Amino acid sequence: MPPPEVRRSIKRSAVSDQQRRRELALLRQTQQRSDSQNRARRLASSVFTLSSSSSSDLILPDKDILTRAADSEEHEAHLDESVAPARELNVVQASKLKGREARQWFARQLMLPEWMIDIPPKLDRDWYVFARPAGNRCFVVSSNGTTISRLRNGSVLHHFPSSLPNGSRTRDSSGPASSYCVLDCIFHEPDQTYYVIDMVCWRDYSLYDCTAEFRFFWLNSKLAESGACNSPSTYHRYRFSVVPIYDCNQAGLHAAYSTSMPYTKDGVLFFNKHAHYQTGNTPLALVWKDNYCSQYFLDTDSQGLVPTQQQVVLEMQEDGKLTTSDDPPVVFGSLEVDFIQKSEFRAGNLLRFAIKDESVRVVDGKLELGDLQFISKSNRARAFADSYSKVFFQYAARHSPLKIEDIAASILPNLPDDSPIVDVEMGS
């Protein structure tokens, strides 16, 4: 038994100031170590995975990309969809962009689902399904004490305070002042609510390279915590809400398709569980609709009427070719040189055409448009041409639409299980 310690008199202080200084120094060092550790962790990893390969030797000098991408609009155009690491810091930098530059940058940030023209295999196993709220798709960024929502074309919808991280100028104890977040939302006019359909960045952590499974998990656990789902108040002008997301089995599909939601539905969205958030068109997120679940099954014209002939919006290229917004673009026709000269169209202009049903062919599963009739230049607000899948979907919608029964049939529970699935997700 060790000898007893001499008891300290109550009149003598327990800790010497030197000891306190040592402890404070240690505390400061621990804090700073953890800060630099966190800074390092928030620099996105260069090891990223493309949808099909798991190669980790694809290493990009991401600093160069960061500077390049931020430099000018010209470089932004070169921004490869797969260069995920660049985006995270771009969001911060892009928040400082103004006007047209900002619009052009933000117009490229949304993940755009393709239209479902055929049913992907293993829908029940690898996909989620949910009812798409009717409204404007937008990209919501909270940073620097304010929140800005931007439409698909990059223009500002709302500029407002919110309870999102650093989304208002209240003294927020929940994070550093530099914190920010990025959400993919649909603004639903009737109840003035932002329905969050995806989470892109949360409190400085980029979720671009996370699977949808993880992003939805994160979205569901984090959004409510922030208070963003609360009713509007002075420092929180619009309510945010998550949408119910289902596994794409019979029950899930049924729930998304026919159950009533607190919002007006506009079709159904399918998300592949393993897909990362990829800007631009992606076949790993799909949209589908019919007359039952959407008021906008067939495209309408500027008067809100369904035109007798299907209309498409295509982008004119340098050489007069008319292309879709896909990457690489699909060519649906071309304009005569003298027509171009007469009309003073320039490369990049979006032009609206009507198509004659009888001139349309499906060759080897590929859609070919015959006779394109020029209608007008497209609405200025529009940023992109139609995608190939959209044109195809609208064509099919007018002739032999893909029905809910077809989708349900593809996920019958008795379908043979021909390929074992390796679950690589941790902790799910």
What is the pattern of x (binds another protein, CB under 8 A) and - over residues 42-81?
-x-xxxxx-xxxx-xx-x--x-------------------
Strands 366-368 and 361-363: antiparallel
Using CB under 8 A, count the residues that bind another protein: 56
> Six-digit token pair at 250?
């019979």
Q: How far is CA 405 from CA 252, 258, 293, 398, 408, in A?
A: 14, 12, 13, 17, 5
Residue type, 37: Q
The correct pick among 101, 120, 218, 410 for binding another protein (CB under 8 A) is: 218
Which is closer to another protein, CB of 223 or CB of 312? Answer: 223
Residues β-bridged to residue 323: 315, 331
Is residue 312 a contact partner of residue 302, using CB atoms and an 8 Å limit?
no
For the bound state, the minimum distance from the C-beta of residue 381 to another protein, rounded and expressed in Å, comes to 35
> Six-digit token pair at 3?
């000898």
CB count, 10 Å around CB of 196? 22
The correct pick among 65, 129, 275, 312 for binding another protein (CB under 8 A) is: 275
61: preceding bond cis by omega (within 30 degrees): no
Is residue 5 part of the contact set for another protein (CB under 8 A)?
yes
Which is closer to another protein, CB of 101 or CB of 213? Answer: 213
The correct pick among 79, 97, 207, 287 for binding another protein (CB under 8 A) is: 207
Cα dihedral sign, 56-61-62-68: negative
The correct pick among 97, 138, 182, 210 for binding another protein (CB under 8 A) is: 210
For the bound state, the minimum distance from the C-beta of residue 289 to another protein, rounded and expressed in Å, comes to 26
Closest CA to 51 of 330, 272, 213: 272
DSSP string, 205-220: EE-TTS-HHHHHHHHH
For the bound state, the minimum distance from the C-beta of residue 67 to another protein, rounded and expressed in Å, comes to 15
The correct pick among 69, 167, 195, 209 for binding another protein (CB under 8 A) is: 209
Binding piece for another protein, criterion CB under 8 A, among 89-97, 270-278, 298-306, 370-378: 270-278
Is residue 414 part of the contact set for another protein (CB under 8 A)?
no
The DSSP call for residue 115 is E
Binding site for another protein (CB under 8 A): 1-11, 13, 17-18, 21-22, 24-26, 28-29, 32-33, 36-37, 40-41, 43, 45-49, 51-54, 56-57, 59, 62, 205, 207, 209-211, 213-214, 218, 274-276, 424-427
